[in-house]
Amino acid sequence: MAVDVTITAGKALFAILLALQVVGLGVFFERKVSAVIQDRIGANRAAILGFAGLGLVNTLVADPIKFLLKEDITPAAVDRLLHTLAPLVSLVPALLPFAVIPFGDVLQIGDRTINLQAAELNVGILFVLAMASLGVYGVVLGGWASNNRWSLLGSIRGSAQMISYEIAMGLALIGVVLTYNTLDLQEMARQQGRLVWGWLPAWGILYQPVAFLIFFTAGVAESKRIPFDLPEAESELVSGYFTEYSGAKHLMFMMSDFVEVVLVAALVTTLFFGGWQVPYLARDGFHLPGGAMLALPSWGVAILEITSFAVKVILFTWLQVVIRWTLPRFRYDQLMRLGWQGLLPLALLNVLVSALVVLLVGGA
């Protein structure tokens, strides 16, 4: 019993720490990608004993120290309790979904089988949606408690945007749930390990391409970054609901945005691109078309699965960064029109078609 509790606590701690570390690496990644797009070098000045680490020292050491040592200014006219709680209410729900996202199948150590997933919930999809819906409260509290008209306008925009796109996102997931007949993210990843026609991996994108487009678009909108950054449009709202925040509180709001970017990448990977699956890799090694086999130990398979998951997440994080630095900002009416008149009807149609296909043919 004590061993099981220790393993569960260790997996939970690993998931949270990994998410937090990924935020720092994500900021570094975005800086370098944006520098390449804009034909410049990027952050590279901070160094420790002459070692700059291609800018890693700048991002992982200098920036956090700068934020934490900045004065935490709380304006006199604000609601201090809500003003302090808002960044936490925004950050914590963004971190918790990582607990149910599987980063591998199982690891066999002696006679003990460890599931590479922090929390083994059979309703993982519902948990992710529940946590995503809580994030809007941080945005609303941040704007309301700041007693600033620009902050309030930014929070109103943000809440309307998040609610609008969460509907399309949830409907897109219904098609996925119908296809796999489960709400368990680990089970969804396992079902994508089959082969179609003996050689093609049965990843979710093959069965639900429309749901992928809807989910990814809505996910980018949920992260509130360009081209969907209307809640904090600098040219219109100063900094939106961030305006009256500084120091560590401002850092938590920024972290929540970057965590959401990685979360969207992890969910897209799990739902539509096989998750931790590696084509032709089974529990005992590679089974190639034609009957050839390459045996691997359990720990070797686990390393390949974790690496596969990480590479896919990095690719979709990169895609979101490229979108951020190449597309212009939508007007607010265009943003709402895309959500309500574009994605929502398409998501409803996808649910109908998916239900008919599952009824007539069967799921994945």
Q: Is residue 230 pLDDT above 80, yes or no?
A: no
- Greater confidence (107 vs 321) lies with 321
Output the six-digit token pair for 153.
Answer: 């306008």
Tell whether the model's pLDDT for residue 60 goes beyond 90: no
Each residue's pLDDT tens digit, 260-278 = 889 999 999 999 998 888 8
Residues 196-226 have pLDDT tens digits of: 887 888 899 999 999 999 999 999 988 887 7
* pLDDT digits 0-9 by tens, 231-261: 666 555 566 777 778 778 888 888 888 888 8
Token reading at 346: 């398409």
Q: What is the mean pLDDT of the chain?
A: 83
CB 335 within 8 A of CB 230: yes
SS3 content of the chain, % helix, strand, coil (to 5): 70, 5, 25
Predicted local distance difference test score (pLDDT) of residue 352: 94
